[in-house]
């Protein structure tokens, strides 16, 4: 038994209207990716602090990835700990947003690490990355930290 023509046309019309509505609906806004980097300064012989600037003064953001890279012309050393701190605009409290302990050894004076994180930060929040090395590296040593986020 065949489908009546008017019923077939109705089903086809509804399907086409649904397809048109689907294709013409506004697309959701995708999150914008942002990143920031900073050089690090020694606060003790084994501890470095990296001050990351404000990610956004217009939107809340979410940090998804933090990376650290250090190089030294001295003896071998280990990256013992990495902390990501979120510092609100008023600076009254500091939240330890992410912390990992590890023992990543330097190879030819270089050590790198990257960690996936899920850290929400508010408008005008700065971030700080703290690095612990052991033993204290000798020679010329420098470290940088970077964060990747979306808002």
| Segments forming the whole domain that contains residue 93 | 33-150
Tell me: pLDDT of 46 over 60: yes
Question: Tell me, what's the pLDDT at 98?
Answer: 85
Tell me: pLDDT of 68 over 70: yes
Q: Each residue of 81-130: pLDDT tens digit?
A: 999 998 888 766 667 778 887 789 999 999 999 999 988 888 998 999 99
Do the domain assignments include residue 27? no
Do the domain assignments include residue 5? no
Do the domain assignments include residue 23? no
Q: Which residues contact 10 (CB under 8 A, 6 or more apart)?
A: none
Give how many domains the chain has, as a whole number.
1
Q: Which residues contact 78 (CB under 8 A, 6 or more apart)?
A: 103, 104, 105, 106, 111, 133, 134, 135
Do the domain assignments include residue 68? yes
Do the domain assignments include residue 1? no
Three-state SS at 47: strand
What's the CATH number where 103 sits? 2.60.120
Contact yes or no for 144/69 (Cβ under 8 A): yes
Do the domain assignments include residue 136? yes
Question: Tell me, what's the pLDDT at 92?
Answer: 66
């Amino acid at each position: 038994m065949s489908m009546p023509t008017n019923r077939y046309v109705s089903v086809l019309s509804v399907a086409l209207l649904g397809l048109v509505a689907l294709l013409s609906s506004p697309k959701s806004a995708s999150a914008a990716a942002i990143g920031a980097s900073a050089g690090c300064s020694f606060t003790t012989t084994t501890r470095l602090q990296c001050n990351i600037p404000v990610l956004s003064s217009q939107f809340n953001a979410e940090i998804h990835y933090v990376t650290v890279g250090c190089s030294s012309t001295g003896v071998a050393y280990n990256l013992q700990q990495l902390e990501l701190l979120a510092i609100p605009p008023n600076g009254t409290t500091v939240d330890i947003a992410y912390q990992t302990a590890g023992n990543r050894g330097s190879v030819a004076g270089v050590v790198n690490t990257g960690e996936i994180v899920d850290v929400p930060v508010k408008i005008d929040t700065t971030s700080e990355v703290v690095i612990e090395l052991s033993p204290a590296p000798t020679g010329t040593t420098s470290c940088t930290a970077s964060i990747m986020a979306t808002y």
